[in-house]
Amino acid sequence: MRMLDLITKKRDGFELTKAEIEFIVHGYTQGQIPDYQMSSFLMATYFNGMTDQESTDLAIAMMHSGDTFNLEDISGIKVDKHSTGGVGDKVTLVLGPLVAACGAKFAKMSGRGLGHTGGTLDKLEAIPGYNIVLDEDAFKAQVNRIGISVIGQSKNITPADKKMYALRDVTATVPSIPLIASSIMSKKLASGADAICLDVKVGNGAFMTDLEEAKKLAVLMVQIGKLAGKRVKAILTNMDEPLGFAVGNTLEVIEAIETLKGNGPKDLENVVLEIGAYLLEDAGIASKEKAIELLKSKLHNGQALEKLIELVEAQGGDSNYIKNPSLFTKSTQVIPLKANKSGYIESMTTIDIGLAAAYLGAGRETVDGVIDPAVGIIFHKKIGDYVQEGDVILDIHANQKGVKDALSTLEKAIHIGTQKKEVVLIEGVIL
């Protein structure tokens, strides 16, 4: 088998076999296939696409390029979720404890934030003492014991994907739906869960800005999961404004705690309930309708919050911060952004809101960047709300970094007009 022949085959629009895809992934990961040939193959794939079976074979080959988690030792059906990334997306912090309180086994490996999107690990590490590093045995034992664990990804998870993504990034082949889907699903399959719900964000604050393209991605990821023997569903959720009111690590943890008390923002709660219902259904715990009733009861009777406390304590964190969020370190400055005229908030440039938070120190530009957990943004008004000139739209929580850049960015990101508009939160479901 020669890489040149496989490049030619893909260039001419033919379907590659499982063995051929395995040859490409293994050869490139081991350094036997040079960058220039892999670049040519990626560009041929960008233009000619892949069948669902090819995308599945690629995801599985990348999965097997490194460590995989075998969760068979965990009793019951293991559930997981994945978000394609957004602003204010603290769903895992609410969803995980909630579905675990309902009897599901929530076994999740998460990532860090980069650019304008926050990472679940950064938010969890805002809780003093929380340890994101557990070996596989400890991870499985904890899920068996309390029903939940959320840890960082192994450094050797899908090394082929890491290497291929770095090359895609410099060869203009990132926006290929088969390559995006295979990349995401390789990591989800390596994590070992039986049932997965994908939260595909779409809008001006998401990586997928076009609804039809987001649907194509969601459909393909669901199909890859099913062909790989998993129970997979996807929901498409709107990211034309931040999810919830808080953007920033500690601020989002506090909002998640309030949501687990039954006092959270309705958009956040609704996304959590939708994903949670599908996971409970796939775990065999309840039908979707009954699952929503069960989730709501656990959200309002304190049991979901107790499960977050259990999670934090099990992973070395100080649960006093969950019981009393006023203990969290606060920013030194709170700077209001006021409406410069009266009218309705018609739209937001959500990606710029995420970037403004990053300027303050809530995000990072590089993987090694340092996060300031205390900083961020709290919204008081969102799309569809009426504001009088001088009303506070949001508060910037800042220390010393990036205040001027954040303020000027946010001023341009909020658009006030004469029309009252609504955001459709859930744009679609792929079953």
Domains of the chain, by residue range, sit at 3-49, 78-156+184-323, 330-417
Annotated catalytic residue, options 10, 78, 81, 82: 82
Question: Using alpha carbons only, what angle is made at residue 292 by residues 139 and 195, rounded to the nearest 5 degrees?
Answer: 40
Residue 200: burial class (beta carbons within 10 Å; 0-12, 13-18, 19+): buried
Low-confidence ranges of the chain (pLDDT < 50): none
Annotated catalytic residue, options 163, 187, 188, 397: 187
**How is domain 330-417 classified at the CATH fold level?**
Aldehyde Oxidoreductase; domain 3 (3.90.1170)
Domain 78-156+184-323 class? Answer: alpha beta
Q: State both tokens at 83.
A: 């978000």
330 near 316, Cβ under 8 Å? Answer: no
Q: Which amino acid is at 303?
A: Q
**Number of CB atoms found within 10 A of residue 196's CB:** 25
Q: Which amino acid is at 411?
A: E
Query: What's the alpha-carbon Rg for the chain, to the nearest Å?
Result: 22
pLDDT in the model for residue 264:
96
Encode 61-121 in three state secondary structure.
HHHCCCCCCCCCCCCCCEEEEEECCCCCCCHHHHHHHHHHHCCCEEEEEECCCCCCCCCHH
pTM of the predicted structure, to 2 decimals? 0.94
Task: Decide the pairing of beta strands 376-379 and 392-398.
Answer: antiparallel
161 is catalytic: yes
32 near 1, Cβ under 8 Å? Answer: no
11 is catalytic: no
Question: Using alpha carbons only, what angle is made at residue 242 by residues 335 and 306, rounded to the nearest 5 degrees?
Answer: 95
168 is catalytic: yes
82 is catalytic: yes
d(CA 98, CA 260): 8
pLDDT in the model for residue 318:
98
pLDDT in the model for residue 114:
62
Nearest to 67 by CA among 150, 166, 162: 162
Annotated catalytic residue, options 122, 161, 282, 352: 161
Distances in Å between the Cα of 404 and the Cα atoms of 105, 398, 408, 416 are: 45, 10, 6, 21
187 is catalytic: yes
The answer to whether the 3-49 and 78-156+184-323 domains have the same CATH topology is no
pLDDT in the model for residue 117:
65
pLDDT in the model for residue 424:
95
Q: What is the CATH number of domain 3-49?
A: 1.20.970.10
Exposure of 123 in the CB half-sphere (CA atoms within 13 A): 29
d(CA 203, CA 238): 6
